[in-house]
Structure 1
Amino acid sequence: MQMSLFIYNFVMCSVLIIGFPLFLVLTILLPKWKDSILERFGILNRTLKDKIKNNINLWFHCASIGESKSIISLAKEIQNKYSKYQLVFTTTTWTGKKILKEYFNNSTVFYLPIDIYFFMKPVVDVVKPKVLVVAETEIWPNLFYLTKKNKGNIVVVNGRISRKSFKKYKMVKGILADVLNLVDMFGMRTEEDASFIKELGAEPDKVIITGDLKFESLLINDKKSKEIINLIKPFCYSNIIVFGSVHLSEMKILLDSFKSILDK
Structure 2
Amino acid sequence: MRYLYTLAMYLVTPIIVLRLLARGVRYRDYHRRWRERFGFYDLPPVRGSIWVHAVSVGEVNAAEPLIKALREEYTNAPLVVTTVTPTGSERVRQLFGNSVSHVYLPYDLPFAVSRFMKRVRPRLAIIVETEIWPNLYFACKKRGIPLMIVNARLSERSLRGYRPMQGLVRSALSCVRQIAAQSRTDAARYRSLGMDPSRILVSGNLKFDMPVPYDAVPAGDALRQQWGRLRPVWIAGSTHEGEELAILEAHLEVLKRLPDALLLIAPRHPERFKMVENSVRSLGFSTATRSTDRVPTAAHQVFVIDAMGELMQFYAAADLAFVGGSLVPIGGHNVLEPAALSKPVLVGPHTFNFEEITLTLIREGAGARVDSSDALGGDVLKLLLDQGRRAQMGTRAKVVFDSERGAVKRVMELIDRQLQE
Structure 2 CA distance for aligned equivalents of residues 20 and 62 of structure 1:
21
Change in CA separation of 1:190 and 1:146 when aligned onto 2, cut-off 3 Å: same
Q: How does 1:55-70 map to 2 (within 5 A)?
A: 55-70=47-62
AA in 2 matched with 1:135: V
Write out per-residue CA displacement over residues 164-185 of structure 1, whole angstroms, 9 at most, x where no aligned residue. Answer: 1111111211110000010000
Q: Is 2:213 aligned against 1:91? A: no
Q: Is 2:40 aligned against 1:43? A: yes
Q: Is 2:74 aligned against 1:82? A: yes
Change in CA separation of 1:163 and 1:29 when aligned onto 2, cut-off 3 Å: closer
Q: How does 1:238-253 map to 2 (within 5 A)?
A: 243-246=365-368, 247=370, 248=376, 249-250=378-379, 252=382
Higher fraction of helix: 1
Match of 1:100 among 64, 85, 92: 92
How far does residue 26 in structure 1 lie from its aligned partner after superposition?
A: 4.8
Structure 2 CA distance for aligned equivalents of residues 19 and 69 of structure 1:
26
What secondary structure, in the 3-state scheme, does the structure 2 residue paired with 1:9 have? helix
Q: How does 1:200-211 map to 2 (within 5 A)?
A: 200-211=193-204
Write out per-residue CA displacement over residues 40-64 of structure 1, whole angstroms, 9 at most, x where no aligned residue. Answer: 111112xx1x2x42x3200000110
Q: Is the 8 A contact 1:128 1:150 kept in 2?
A: no
How far does residue 222 in structure 1 lie from its aligned partner after superposition?
A: 2.7
Q: Is the 8 A contact 1:120 1:142 kept in 2?
A: yes
Q: Is the 8 A contact 2:21 2:30 kept in 1?
A: no
Structure 1 CA distance for aligned equivalents of residues 364 and 17 of structure 2:
51
Partner of residue 5, structure 1:
2
Match of 2:170 among 161, 174, 177: 177
Structure 2 CA distance for aligned equivalents of residues 43 and 33 of structure 1:
16
Q: Is 2:126 aligned against 1:133? A: yes
TM-score, structure 1 as length reference: 0.81
How far does residue 18 in structure 1 lie from its aligned partner after superposition?
A: 4.4
Gaps of 5+ in 1: 233-240, 259-264
How far does residue 108 in structure 1 lie from its aligned partner after superposition?
A: 0.6
Change in CA separation of 1:41 and 1:229 when aligned onto 2, cut-off 3 Å: closer
Change in CA separation of 1:20 and 1:102 when aligned onto 2, cut-off 3 Å: closer
Change in CA separation of 1:245 and 1:12 when aligned onto 2, cut-off 3 Å: same
Q: How does 1:143-154 map to 2 (within 5 A)?
A: 143-154=136-147
Q: Is the 8 A contact 2:50 2:125 kept in 1?
A: yes
Structure 1 CA distance for aligned equivalents of residues 79 and 190 of structure 2:
27
AA in 1 matched with 2:167: G
How far does residue 31 in structure 1 lie from its aligned partner after superposition?
A: 2.3
Q: Is 2:24 aligned against 1:32? A: no
Structure 2 CA distance for aligned equivalents of residues 30 and 191 of structure 1:
38
Partner of residue 14, structure 1:
11
Change in CA separation of 1:192 and 1:13 when aligned onto 2, cut-off 3 Å: same
CA RMSD of aligned residues (A): 2.8
AA in 2 matched with 1:122: R
Q: Is the 8 A contact 1:60 1:88 kept in 2?
A: yes
What secondary structure, in the 3-state scheme, does the structure 2 residue paired with 1:201 have? coil
What secondary structure, in the 3-state scheme, does the structure 2 residue paired with 1:133 have? strand
How far does residue 230 in structure 1 lie from its aligned partner after superposition?
A: 11
Runs of 4 or more above 2 Å deviation: 17-31, 221-232, 241-245, 247-255
- Larger displacement relative to structure 2 (76-85 or 59-68): 76-85
| Greater relative contact order, per chain length (Cα 8 Å cut-off, separation 6+) | 1
Write out per-residue CA displacement over residues 106-150 of structure 1, whole angstroms, 9 at most, x where no aligned residue. Answer: 211011111111111111122111110001111111111112222
Match of 1:160 among 136, 153, 178: 153
AA in 2 matched with 1:138: E
What secondary structure, in the 3-state scheme, does the structure 2 residue paired with 1:130 have? strand
Alignment: residue pair count = 239
Write out per-residue CA displacement over residues 225-253 of structure 1, whole angstroms, 9 at most, x where no aligned residue. Answer: 87699966xxxxxxxx9633214544649
| Identical-pair percentage | 27
Structure 1 CA distance for aligned equivalents of residues 181 and 76 of structure 2:
27
What secondary structure, in the 3-state scheme, does the structure 2 residue paired with 1:172 have? helix
Structure 2 CA distance for aligned equivalents of residues 88 and 102 of structure 1:
15
Structure 2 CA distance for aligned equivalents of residues 218 and 62 of structure 1:
17
How far does residue 23 in structure 1 lie from its aligned partner after superposition?
A: 4.3
Partner of residue 237, structure 1:
none
- Larger displacement relative to structure 2 (191-200 or 27-36): 27-36
Q: Is the 8 A contact 1:158 1:187 kept in 2?
A: yes
